[in-house]
Amino acid sequence: MPLDNLAGKLGVPKSTLHYRIKRLERDGVIEGYYAKASPLKLGYDYVAIVLVRARYGPHYHKRVGKKIAAIPGVWAVYYVLGEYDFVVLVRALNREDYMNKLEQLISMPDIERTSTQIAAKIVKEDPRVGT
């Protein structure tokens, strides 16, 4: 949305809005701008949630998390506390594509065990904060 339109809707001068946006960018609140492409329209309709148990060691969560994140199709990696160490969200073209990604994951020496949940239907998926 152009700054003129947004400033009008907010009832603030365009220069004030511009300054505030720049400050939010500088402070890291706004991390960037991107086009939201539909994974489904691109053929990535196979969604898996993989729970990963890893071998403990110094800073293992950083090392293992970085390796998991490098697998193509992995779009989120969360280090969690509890029975498992990571929750990994994966998009794939189909079951075979997913199995190739899973093979990359389970072949890592730091991975002890995985448990996969396949999403039957996406009810809500929105990366925007507070929606």
**Does the residue 66 lie in any domain?**
yes
Residues 51, 110 within the same domain: yes
- Rounded Cα distance, 86 and 100, in Å: 19
First-to-last CA distance in the chain? 18
- Rounded Cα distance, 10 and 3, in Å: 10
pLDDT tens per residue, range 43-75: 788 999 999 999 998 999 999 999 999 999 999
CATH number for 101: 3.30.70.920
CATH number for 8: 1.10.10.10
Residues 24, 85 within the same domain: no
pTM of the model: 0.80
**Does the residue 40 lie in any domain?**
no
Residues 71, 93 within the same domain: yes
- Rounded Cα distance, 111 and 29, in Å: 34
